[in-house]
Amino acid sequence: MFADAIDISYLNLHKNAVLTKYLKQDNNFTITDPVLSLIAPNNSIMEKSDAVLASVIVKTPQGHGSGFAITQDGYIITNYHVISGRLNNKLSTVKIITSSGEELEGKIVRYNKYRDLALIKVDKTFEKAFKVNNVKSFKSLQDVYTIGAPKSIELGQSISSGMISNERKNNNNNLLQLGMSVNAGNSGGPLFDNAGTLHGVIVSKLVGQNTEGVSFAIPGYMISDYLNIGYN
């Protein structure tokens, strides 16, 4: 009860007009990298059972997260916070573990720190890949899934299911609110439906006393804009 009261008071403080008058928030989160043209997958994920073929673990010296292939020639999406180093503005070395257990060297191609997205390249041909669409296709109360490595690398390719609650917008940021149980290692994993359509990237969850099953994803239709990438 006391923890909830503190959380609510903190949120109310950030809405207080006296405070917000002095807070300066930067809401220009665009990156300056030129448009990167990628090869669209000719064998994309078409059903949820195939999603494991494009899902990976992203391992760094600091820990691990999840990710997924968006091209068959080795381009992978994850969160920026998964690949960021302990020191400010210094990136980690990255290794990618595929669903078959193969471990590959990953190269960070680009990232958007403020949108919490990163693009990694590995020397591998994926059998299938998720296709990034620029069109919003999800619906509220839609059943969705994610694949990741919650807490431990040994739990890689674990599946969580839930629903899309709504899309939230704040300070020029869009997030999908989910009714889904996720953990730290799920960060960067794909959010997809029964047909294998990509709807988002798992990014965070609410924590606190008496808070369970409230998580968030970066909308999939914003990935191209946030990273300045597209299919040729």
Closest CA to 49 of 206, 192, 216: 192
- The confidence score (pLDDT) of residue 112 equals 95
- CATH pick for 36-129 out of 2.40.10.340, 2.40.10.10, 2.60.40.10, 3.30.365.10: 2.40.10.10
Q: Which CATH class is domain 143-224?
A: mainly beta
pLDDT in tens, 30-65: 889 999 999 999 999 999 999 999 999 999 998 999
- The confidence score (pLDDT) of residue 42 equals 96
- The confidence score (pLDDT) of residue 20 equals 67
* Position 86 confidence tier, pLDDT thresholds 50, 70, 90: low
| HSE-CB for 204 with a 13 A CA cutoff | 11
Residue the block writes with tokens 């609650």: 165
Domains 36-129 and 143-224 share a fold: yes
Pick the more confident residue, 12 or 161.
161
Residues serving a catalytic function are 81, 116, 187
Mean pLDDT of the chain: 88
- The confidence score (pLDDT) of residue 22 equals 66
* Domain ranges (residues) in the chain: 36-129, 143-224
Pairwise CA distance, residues 39 & 76, whole Å = 13
> Does pLDDT of 117 surpass 90?
yes
- The confidence score (pLDDT) of residue 121 equals 98
**pTM (two decimals):** 0.87
| Arithmetic mean of pLDDT, 102-108 | 96
What DSSP string describes 37-64? Answer: EEPPPSSB--SGGGGGGGEEEEEETTEE
> Does pLDDT of 85 surpass 60?
yes
Tell me the CA end-to-end span of the chain in Å, nearest whole number. Answer: 53
pLDDT in tens, 133-174: 999 999 999 999 999 988 778 877 889 999 999 999 877 889
